Amino acid sequence: AYPEGENVLSLKRYEVYQQRRIKRLLEGFAHSSIVFYVGKTGVGKTTYLFDPNGFQKDYQVQMGRKAKIYQGSAELKAFLSHADLKSDAIFIEDEANLSSLNLNYFAGLKSLCPHVLLDGSYYPLPKTHKVICVGNPKESYKNGRDQQAPFLN
């Protein structure tokens, strides 16, 4: 059964929204191995990224490659060591602008030879390693909640 009337319009609007969402993320990756994914609280950023039928499915359709998702500082070293040639490694730091993870670790991703320096070790990374930092617009942070320095501009 298919939705009728207003539900059809809502479904179409949602599909258009989803297509814009993946297009913007992939456009960001065309310019850098790290993107900051910003949206208001409660719009589904985190749900979309971690739902296997969301970002991972869209990424595979658009890029023609599977995405192995790593989440948070507990999986950072596994991300850096990812060597599966059949999938791209995507590290996602949710609420990145409030995270205790030092985002300066990722500054080397913007260099000509992408890399991460972590705990005194140098990790050269292929273009198949990507980072998504998820957060809310700067205006959302009040009462002493501040963004980390790399994302203030």
Closest CA to 130 of 73, 84, 79: 79
Closest CA to 74 of 62, 91, 54, 86: 91
**Distance between CA 49 and CA 57 in Å, rounded?**
10
pLDDT (tens place) for every residue of the chain, 153 residues total: 444 555 556 777 777 887 888 888 888 888 888 998 888 888 888 888 998 888 899 899 989 999 999 999 999 999 999 999 899 999 999 988 788 888 888 988 888 888 999 989 999 999 899 999 998 877 665 655 555 544 433
Contact status, residue 35 vs residue 25, Cβ threshold 8 Å: yes
